[in-house]
């Protein structure tokens, strides 16, 4: 993003927040001067609906809560204010979303966010109805695309917990609330139907959700039943122009410059079908006893087809004298534009397919034993599965081209100089194939008992206590990326087999029409492997391409995970936790003001066990060793076919987590809070795996004598302990109207026990040979860090304005975060990477939403902005830190209430067709110095929505 745009974004945020106090104070003055409203002349009930009702409900939750919480509610059935859970969460102060599907591969965008950060921290715990939920994709948190927002009554974001809340989130806890039959006193039938189209993808996607809820008085007591079904189809087209990491070079004049390693463009056609069902039965046999059975099953099946073109530097053309003579650089010597002479082209078609399913079955019982004691019990079973397939075929062009790129403007321009032969299938040979598979599943059984005893004696109000235990099994099966040569590469191989030799149906010509919505010229038409080659399974790909394997490498697709003998990561883990807590509520009068709160402590014991193995890939060299071969021969003997031995690990630790929440109610409108607690976030289950992969590399001179070698390895660490935080909040909250508030929250987190990458020498013996390997694993460090900042939030409807302007309203919030001393898990101890900020942390973010609610119209225009942040310390393929530049997006919606039963509306996402700009660290020794990496445009999506409620 340009400096002007950055300044404009910050100015908008500052200016928006500067007017909030003025507006609120104006409202307060009006409220003081105006006469009390007269009561209705009859018994008419005034019902607040739409955005007013959403704001009123969320504000009441925040004001009355025992802890610091922000909420977003779905007053209409199946109607959060945004298209997805993550989109709705980003409107809350302190919450930001990552729009890429994966942080380590952010060039691939989807229609829904891939991650949620609270106060800049991705260590966020996810729950449904206060219970644990997770995705088998990572074993800890929820994949936000797996659960449909249509099932939710609301979402709560807890920022500083009390002792009765489940541990495991330092950033915060996101609780997804589903609906229950006893929520309504009368029968409910509701539905939502919509049709969505994007301006890049130009496909229609249709979604439907339906809900039925009822309750009956029977001879066995009151019974309620609810069934909520959701079928969501969604899609997104991503257009990208990108380079790679930058290489140091020297011009003919002796100047030191930075030149991209590659350049190219791609399109990604992403589609997802998601089905979800939520069912609940409630039984109240008496006023003192209630049972609730809940079942949630959510399936998400994203699929994507990607066409990628790259100009590659296999023969040094990017830094040749002829090419560099055309280049233009910025003041720091970084490449800005130029023509690459005689560049090779590689085109590939990649197909990806995921199948994710999470099932949650929970039984809850609540018993009011007497006027003083209430007991509650809960049993929950969660099962989650995730399978992943990635399948790619590569072509290369025989006739190299001159390629140009200009990244100096707001949007890059890339192209192939004419004339060229990129449309001629007879000039492309089959270059390579690659596949990757994953199959993960996890299940957890959890049980808890809670009790609350009402004391109501002076300052002591109630005493709450409880115990909880969990038993989780988690299995991951993740292959390597199985790349292999087919016929030929620029650097060598066998006899080229051209696409024209394999015939029609194996390749296609793509012209990239409507690329970036026409904002940049079409890069050029290129031959690709036909999508049908890679989207019908790897066996089908092999059948089509096995005849092209003239190089003798013999690509063979992955088919299964067979006991570790093929180098695929196979890990089995078990985690048991036992927790107990006590929490005391207190309250009383202090000089005419109410002071209340809670103080408690939670103690939790964690036991982890992992079972895996040690594997060593078979050594490969381009030539046999003829001298100094002792190590060379020992490594070949040591490897002995790959599988070495089983390997296990276990760990046990106990954490004591105190908490204090105090609230001073100055009056009915103004209150202050102070909260202090200790929190933990457990290591990712993938980091705990004892799986270890060993490898070797050799350097031989032209005569075959060994001149150098390395023995390395990577693995998990079952001995990791949680990251810990002492966290503090101080708030001032002014609730000047049922839908009007101005709040300030100062927060601070002192972090310790960071997890980072480290390397240690490990000795292994196999087949009679003992060798030392430098093995990289994650470890707990001794460096402490801190995160602090503030949030300010405002909302109000301007009822004091004359009609029709009294339907106007505004929501706005701004968050600023500072951090120091933090460590990312990918940082290497003692390296320059430790200077990087924490992943996912934007120093500044804000939201501004203008609303209108009157005459049956409910409209909203919402702008969300966040400043530059670090995606990852090592991005896929680039192997460098990758960053997201400043980004803002405008969304909107307008609904009209036809009658009490029906609403119709339009929702729009990314109205201004914003460009995502990414940056890459140019040098690992100076990772804070960044260069332009990519420009990404995704769909502007428009949805037409019909809602019914009976």
Confidence of residue 563 (pLDDT cuts 50, 70, 90): very low
Summarised one tens digit per residue, pLDDT across range 427-446 is: 999 999 999 999 999 999 99
Numbers of helices and strands, H then E, in the chain: 9, 47
Confidence of residue 143 (pLDDT cuts 50, 70, 90): confident
Candidates 279, 197, 274, 193; CA nearest to 231 is 274
Of the listed ranges 144-153, 281-290, 328-337, 931-940, the one predicted with least confidence: 144-153
**Residue 24, pLDDT above cutoff 50:** no
Candidates 844, 842, 843, 846; CA nearest to 871 is 842
What is the CA angle 438-439-443, rounded to 5?
Answer: 140
Residue corresponding to tokens 């309504």:
184
Is residue 543 in a domain? Answer: no
Confidence of residue 112 (pLDDT cuts 50, 70, 90): confident
Q: Are 905 and 895 in contact (CB under 8 A)?
A: yes
Q: What are phi and psi of 586, to 5 degrees?
A: -140, 165
Token couple for 312:
């590659």
CB count in 10 Å sphere of residue 795: 24
> Is the preceding omega at residue 419 within 30 degrees of 0, hence cis?
yes
Domain count, the chain: 1
Residue 99 to residue 85: CA distance in whole angstroms: 13
Report the CATH number at residue 615.
2.40.170.20
Is residue 814 in a domain? Answer: yes
Q: What pLDDT was estimated at residue 669?
A: 96
Strand partners for 793: 743, 813
Is residue 425 in a domain? Answer: no
Q: Which residue has the higher pLDDT, 558 or 35?
A: 558
Confidence of residue 314 (pLDDT cuts 50, 70, 90): low
Summarised one tens digit per residue, pLDDT across range 379-413 is: 999 999 999 999 999 999 998 888 889 999 889 99
Half-sphere exposure of residue 319: CA atoms within 13 angstroms, side-chain side: 18
**Residue 818, pLDDT above cutoff 90:** yes
What is the CA angle 24-27-33, rounded to 5?
Answer: 145
Mean pLDDT along residues 152-166: 93
Q: What is the DSSP letter of 636?
A: H
Summarised one tens digit per residue, pLDDT across range 513-531 is: 889 988 888 778 899 999 9
**Residue 48, pLDDT above cutoff 60:** no
Q: What pLDDT was estimated at residue 39?
A: 34
**Residue 421, pLDDT above cutoff 50:** yes
Q: Are 907 and 76 in contact (CB under 8 A)?
A: no
**Residue 611, pLDDT above cutoff 90:** no
- Give whole-number Cα distances, 369 to 114, 151, 283, 284, 290, in Å: 44, 33, 17, 14, 12
Host domain of residue 639: 51-390+438-478+558-949
DSSP-derived pairing of the beta strands 172-178 and 124-128: parallel
Is residue 132 in a domain? Answer: yes
Residue 310 to residue 245: CA distance in whole angstroms: 13
**Residue 66, pLDDT above cutoff 60:** yes
Residue 203 to residue 195: CA distance in whole angstroms: 10
Q: pTM of this prediction?
A: 0.90
Summarised one tens digit per residue, pLDDT across range 743-768 is: 999 999 999 999 988 889 999 988 88
Q: What pLDDT was estimated at residue 613?
A: 81
**Residue 772, pLDDT above cutoff 90:** yes
Q: What pLDDT was estimated at residue 621?
A: 67
Spatial neighbors of 807 by CB under 8 A, at least 6 apart, are 797, 852, 853, 854, 855, 857
Q: What pLDDT was estimated at residue 767?
A: 84
**Residue 194, pLDDT above cutoff 60:** yes
**Residue 449, pLDDT above cutoff 90:** yes
CA 82, distance to chain mean position in Å, is 17
Is residue 142 in a domain? Answer: yes
Residue 90 to residue 92: CA distance in whole angstroms: 5
CB count in 10 Å sphere of residue 601: 17
Q: Are 360 and 131 in contact (CB under 8 A)?
A: yes
Summarised one tens digit per residue, pLDDT across range 655-693 is: 999 999 999 999 999 999 999 999 999 998 888 888 888
Q: Are 280 and 225 in contact (CB under 8 A)?
A: yes
> Is the preceding omega at residue 535 within 30 degrees of 0, hence cis?
no
Q: What are phi and psi of 424, to 5 degrees?
A: -100, 110
Across the chain, mean pLDDT equals 88
Token couple for 552:
């003798």
**Residue 566, pLDDT above cutoff 70:** no
Q: What pLDDT was estimated at residue 135?
A: 86
Q: What pLDDT was estimated at residue 569?
A: 65
CB count in 10 Å sphere of residue 461: 17
- Give whole-number Cα distances, 134 to 558, 757, 839, in Å: 27, 25, 21
Token couple for 94:
């302190």
Q: Are 411 and 516 in contact (CB under 8 A)?
A: yes
Of the listed ranges 35-39, 192-196, 235-239, the one predicted with least confidence: 35-39
Is residue 671 in a domain? Answer: yes
CB count in 10 Å sphere of residue 563: 10
Is residue 626 in a domain? Answer: yes
Residue 916 to residue 884: CA distance in whole angstroms: 7
Q: What pLDDT was estimated at residue 642?
A: 63
Confidence of residue 641 (pLDDT cuts 50, 70, 90): low
How much of the chain exceeds pLDDT 70, in percent?
92
Half-sphere exposure of residue 944: CA atoms within 13 angstroms, side-chain side: 3
Token couple for 243:
């380079």
Is residue 517 in a domain? Answer: no
Of the listed ranges 134-143, 196-205, 316-325, 775-784, the one predicted with least confidence: 134-143
């Amino acid at each position: 993003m340009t400096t002007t745009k950055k300044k404009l974004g910050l100015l908008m945020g500052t200016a928006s927040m500067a007017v909030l106090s003025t507006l609120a104070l104006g409202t307060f003055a009006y409220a003081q001067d105006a006469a009390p409203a007269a009561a209705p002349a009859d018994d008419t009930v005034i019902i607040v609906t739409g955005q007013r009702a959403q704001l009123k409900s969320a504000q009441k939750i925040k004001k009355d809560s025992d802890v610091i919480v922000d909420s977003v509610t779905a007053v209409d059935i199946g109607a959060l204010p945004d298209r997805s859970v993550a989109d709705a969460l980003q409107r809350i102060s302190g919450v930001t979303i990552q729009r890429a599907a994966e942080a380590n591969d952010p060039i691939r965008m989807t229609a829904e966010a891939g991650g949620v950060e609270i106060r800049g921290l991705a260590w966020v715990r996810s729950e449904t109805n206060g219970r644990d939920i997770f995705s088998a994709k990572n074993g800890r948190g929820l994949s936000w695309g797996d659960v449909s927002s249509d099932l939710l009554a609301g979402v709560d974001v807890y920022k500083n917990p009390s002792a009765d809340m489940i541990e495991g989130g330092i950033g915060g806890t996101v609780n997804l609330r589903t609906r229950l039959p006893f929520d309504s006193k009368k029968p409910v039938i509701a539905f939502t139907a919509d049709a969505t189209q994007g301006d890049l993808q130009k496909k229609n996607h249709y979604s439907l959700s339906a809900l039925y809820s009822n309750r009956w008085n029977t001879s066995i007591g009151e019974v309620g039943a609810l069934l909520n079904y959701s079928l969501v189809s969604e899609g997104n087209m991503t257009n990208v122009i990108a380079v790679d990491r930058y290489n140091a070079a020297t011009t003919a004049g002796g100047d030191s410059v930075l030149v991209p390693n590659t350049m190219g463009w791609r399109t990604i056609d992403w589609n997802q079908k998601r089905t979800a069902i939520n069912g609940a039965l409630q039984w109240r046999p008496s006023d003192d006893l209630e049972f609730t059975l809940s079942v949630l099953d959510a399936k998400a099946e994203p699929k994507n087809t990607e066409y990628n073109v790259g100009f590659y530097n296999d023969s040094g053309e990017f830094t040749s004298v002829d090419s560099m003579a055309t280049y233009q650089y910025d003041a720091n010597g970084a490449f800005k534009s130029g023509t690459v002479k005689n560049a090779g082209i590689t085109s590939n078609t990649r197909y990806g397919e995921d199948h994710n399913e999470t099932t949650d079955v929970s039984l809850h019982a609540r018993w009011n034993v007497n006027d003083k004691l209430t007991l509650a019990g809960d049993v929950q079973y969660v099962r989650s599965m995730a399978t992943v397939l990635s399948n790619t075929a590569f072509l290369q062009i025989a006739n190299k081209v001159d390629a140009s790129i200009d990244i100096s403007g707001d949007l890059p321009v890339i192209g192939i100089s004419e004339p060229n032969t990129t449309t001629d299938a007879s000039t492309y040979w089959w270059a390579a194939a690659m596949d990757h598979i994953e199959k993960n599943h996890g299940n957890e059984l959890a049980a808890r008992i809670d009790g609350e005893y009402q004391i109501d004696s002076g300052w002591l109000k109630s005493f709450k206590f409880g115990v909880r235990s969990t038993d989780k099994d988690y299995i991951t099966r993740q292959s390597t990326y199985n790349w292999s040569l087919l016929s030929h590469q620029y650097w060598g191989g066998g006899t080229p087999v051209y696409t024209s030799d394999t015939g029609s149906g194996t390749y296609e010509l793509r012209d990239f029409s409507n690329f970036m919505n026409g904002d940049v010229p079409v890069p050029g038409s290129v031959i690709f492997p036909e999508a049908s080659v890679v989207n019908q399974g790897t066996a089908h790909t092999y059948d089509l391409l096995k005849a092209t394997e003239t190089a003798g490498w013999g690509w063979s697709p992955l088919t299964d995970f067979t006991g570790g003998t093929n180098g695929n990561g196979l890990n089995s883990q078990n985690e048991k936790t036992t927790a107990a807590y006590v929490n005391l509520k207190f309250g009383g009068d202090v000089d005419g003001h109410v002071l209340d709160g809670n103080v408690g402590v939670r103690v939790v014991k964690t036991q982890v066990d992992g079972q895996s193995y040690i594997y060593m890939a078979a050594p490969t060299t381009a030539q046999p060793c003829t001298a100094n071969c002792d190590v060379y021969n020992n490594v070949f003997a040591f490897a002995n076919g790959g599988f070495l031995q089983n390997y296990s690990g276990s760990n046990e630790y106990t954490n004591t987590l105190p908490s204090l929440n105090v609230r001073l109610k100055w009056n009915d409108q103004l209150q202050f809070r102070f909260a202090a607690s200790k929190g933990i976030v457990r290591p990712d289950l993938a980091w705990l795996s004892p799986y270890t992969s060993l490898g070797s590399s050799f350097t031989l001179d032209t005569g075959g004598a060994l001149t150098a070698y390395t023995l390395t390895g990577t693995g998990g660490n079952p001995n990791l302990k949680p990251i810990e935080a002492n966290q503090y909040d101080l708030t001032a909250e002014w609730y000047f109207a049922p839908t009007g508030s101005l709040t300030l929250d100062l927060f601070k987190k002192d972090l310790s026990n960071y997890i980072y990458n480290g390397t240690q020498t490990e000795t292994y013996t196999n087949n009679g040979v003992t060798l030392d390997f430098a093995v990289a694993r994650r470890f707990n460090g001794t460096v402490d860090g801190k995160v602090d900042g503030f949030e300010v939030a405002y909302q109000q409807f301007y009822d004091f304005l004359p009609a029709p302007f009294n339907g106007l309203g505004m929501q706005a919030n701004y968050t600023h975060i500072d951090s120091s001393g933090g460590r990312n898990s990918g940082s290497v101890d003692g390296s320059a990477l430790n200077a990087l900020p924490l992943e996912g942390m934007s120093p500044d973010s804000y939201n501004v939403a203008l609303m209108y609610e009157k005459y049956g119209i409910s409209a909203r225009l919402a702008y969300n902005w966040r400043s530059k942040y670090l995606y990852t310390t090592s991005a896929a393929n680039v192997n460098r830190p990758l960053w997201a530049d400043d980004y803002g997006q405008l969304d909107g919606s307008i609904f009209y209430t036809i009658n009490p039963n029906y609403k119709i509306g339009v929702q729009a996402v990314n109205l201004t067709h914003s460009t995502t700009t990414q940056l890459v660290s140019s040098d690992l020794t100076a990772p804070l110095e960044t260069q332009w990496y990519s420009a990404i445009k995704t769909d502007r999506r428009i949805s037409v929505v019909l809602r019914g409620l009976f």
